[in-house]
Structures are given as structure tokens and as C-alpha cells.
Amino acid sequence: MSEPLVSVVLPVYNAEAYVAAALESILRQEYSHLEVIALDDGSTDQSLAILQRHQKADDRIRIVSRENRGLIATLNEGIALANGDLIARMDADDISYPSRFSRQVALFAQRPELAISGTGIDQLVGNRVVLGKPDPVYQSGEWHILSMFFTIFMHSTVMYNRKVIPDGMLVYDAGYVHAEDFDLFRRIARELPAAMIDESLVAYRIHDDSVTSRHKQQMRRTHLKIVTENLGQQFLGDDPDALRDIGTAVTCGTVRRAANCILTIDRKIAAQLEPTSSSYADGALCLFYFLYRLIVDAQQPELTHDFLARTGKWQVIRRRERYGLHSALRSPLLGRMSDRATRRLDALVRYCQSVRIETVQPLSGLAGAPQNPALSSGF
């Protein structure tokens, strides 16, 4: 039986600091029967030159370079150009570990009915790596339920099976800018089998210039738009505009309605008798955390306090965050001091949990220090 061709879709836009490491991590995969479709989306830096230099050394690379059209158009173009039955996603600032493709191809061979698979991740921040751990939320495997509430896979870990996914489904929708992966994953998981290799096979790079960092507000709005659509289909909500409105502005009114939305979801889930209700509960808790972080980022402690009081979920946030919120209500100055202390402590904990990049064997020789020292500010 012949090995399936893996087509790697690699969108590139002004990624000169990282794209060489990303591309080299693909080319040194244990699984070698692949093609790389590198799409330069109108970069104004040296990204294209870096791609061309690597193409001269490896004819598995195909380069498409043209004016800027945006990520969604670029992804769809790459999928249309792909020759393989398996299509792997890869971002220009992330790194695939050498066994990633071989592990995913083996999974599809073992389970040919699968439409999509993802993997766990390590987090790469500057010169240090936070090693990933298995996430218990994935243990249920009820992907059609979990995919209603959050993006079930990191985009750069995904591999699609075109033998299973209809051509009309494997398309990113331009109506879901900066959450296009969430939309596509939910559409696939709603109808077709999915699976997770809950082991870190990709190093996900965190830096200030990433798409996620630059477009956080738009991503959150689109994310909540998708969740609202999903809740409506399952009759789990009673205020269809509540999530959309808090994504637009965090106010007393939108916080109150978002809290009522969480309470309604929890009540309807509790009334279910199906064994999959635990997956609904896991998904709803992820939605709560999403809203909680959105409200916290608005830096109005009284609104965060109100959200927690209305939902009754003080016990699911960390103790030091509870102390900080109570302090902020007594004194804004105490609240700011507590918030700064919490952030410093979180950074210290992440640093202590991380390891130097050279100690992670799959990253050897690929990812050195970032060119801009500020990009390591995640610690």
C-alpha cells in the first residue's frame, strides 16, 4: 500500500523572523512523502526570499506569491492547489516536531473514517518552552458537542482527510474572520469523526506580532458569534444577542445578560438525561472562562465581580484572583497593586515551569532567540 501524499498549506505574511524555522521543521519530518505549498500573501519583508532559498534546496516546496488577500483567501487557495489526500495546516511562526506527520498519517491509516485530527502543543516564548500537558476536556471525545463552545484544535496542528471531507465543506468561510478555524472545525465535527493526539507535536509560538495578539478583539467577537449560532441550533440560549453584545462592549448591561446566558445554559444542560451531558458541561465551562477573561481584560473589577456573583462561579477561578477582585472593590489602588502582583507571579510560575529551548530535542537547530527581545515578554 502506497504512502499517502501530505500537502502542507503554509500561509506566509511578513514572517521573516520565524518562517525559516517553520519550513525547516516541515522538511525534516520523519514522514517525507509531502509537498509544501508556501503562499506568500504579499509580504513586504524578506519572507519570499527565505522561501525561495529553501526551494532551491528542496523541490518539494511550491511557492505562490502575489498581492495581499488575507488569511482566509490564502488558506482556501492553498487547499485548492493541494494534490494530497491529507492536508496539513502549518503557520509560519510555529514549529512541527519531527514525528508529527508520521503520527497523524498513522492515525488516519488506523482509522480511515476520520475527517480531521489535531495534536497537543508546547508553548514557545522567546528562548523558553512551556511543555504541554494532556487536557482532560478532550477525554469525552464528543467532538460534535465540544466544537460548539470552543476551537477544539490549535490551527497549526490540524490535518484534514479529503477522502472523507466533502469538497464543499473543506472551505474556510470569509464571514468568520479571525475565527475561521473555529467555524470550519465545528462544521466538520458536527457531521464527521474527529480525533486528538493528546501529545505535544507542535511548538506554538507566542509573540506580540502574531495574528492572535494583533486581532484579539475581532477574534473574540467572531468567536462569540459562532457560539451564539451553535447555542441557537441546540436551543440552549434564550437571549440570542447577549454574547454578541458583550463582544462589542463590556458594560453593566452586557455583563448581566452574559451571566444570565451562562445560567440558562447550565440550567438546560442540568435538565438533560443523555450521557453526553458531561461534554456539554465541559463546553459550557470553557465558554464561562472565555467570557471571564474578556471581562477581566476590560479592567473594570466591579464588572468582573458582578459577573462572578451572578453566575455563582467564584470557586472555579484561582484563589489569588478572588483576593484581587475583593481588594479592587475596597480600593482601586489595592486592586491595581494586586493585579500587578498576580501578573508578575503568573509570569514567574510560567518561567519556572518552562525549560530552555535547547533542552527540547525536537527544537534542536531550528529556533534560536527571537530577533526582537521584546517578543519574549510573555514571561
Q: Residue 377's pLDDT is what?
A: 46
Chain centroid offset of residue 234 CA: 24
**C-alpha cell at position 65:** 506569491
Q: How far apart are CA 361 and CA 369, in angstroms?
A: 16
- Show contacts of 319-325: CB within 8 Å, 24+ apart: 320/345, 325/301
Q: How far apart are CA 196 and CA 146, in angstroms?
A: 12
Nearest 5°: the CA angle 320, 321, 323 is: 65
**C-alpha cell at position 324:** 484581587
DSSP H/E element including 171: none
Q: Phi/psi of residue 15, each to 5°?
A: -120, 35
Residue 74 vs residues 38, 173, 316: alpha-carbon distances, Å: 10, 12, 40
Place of cell 496542528: 157
Q: Residue 371's pLDDT is what?
A: 40
For the CA atoms of the chain, what is the radius of gyration? 21
Smallest Cα–Cα separation from 107: which of 117, 97, 95? 117
Q: How far apart are CA 178 and CA 202, in angstroms?
A: 21
Smallest Cα–Cα separation from 166: which of 72, 38, 79, 77? 79
Contact 137/366 with Cβ under 8 angstroms? no
Nearest 5°: the CA angle 296, 258, 287 is: 70
Q: Residue 275's pLDDT is what?
A: 64
Smallest Cα–Cα separation from 120: which of 132, 111, 108, 136? 132
Contact 137/282 with Cβ under 8 angstroms? yes
Q: How far apart are CA 342 and CA 324, in angstroms?
A: 8
**C-alpha cell at position 252:** 453593566
Digits of tens for pLDDT over the chain (379 positions)? 589 999 999 999 999 999 999 999 999 999 999 999 999 999 999 999 999 999 999 999 999 999 999 999 999 999 999 999 999 999 999 999 999 999 999 999 999 999 999 999 999 998 899 999 888 888 777 899 999 999 999 999 999 999 999 989 999 999 999 999 999 999 999 999 999 999 999 999 998 776 666 778 999 999 999 999 999 998 888 898 999 999 999 999 999 999 999 999 999 998 876 666 789 999 999 999 999 999 999 988 899 999 999 999 999 998 878 877 877 777 766 666 666 777 787 778 788 888 999 889 888 877 444 444 333 445 6
Residues belonging to the chain: 379
CA dihedral 86, 89, 90, 95 (to 10 degrees): -70
The bridge status of strand 354-356 relative to strand 95-96 is unpaired
- The full set of domain ranges for the chain reads 6-213, 215-317
Q: What is the pTM of this model?
A: 0.91
> Is it true that domain 6-213 has CATH number 3.90.550.10?
yes
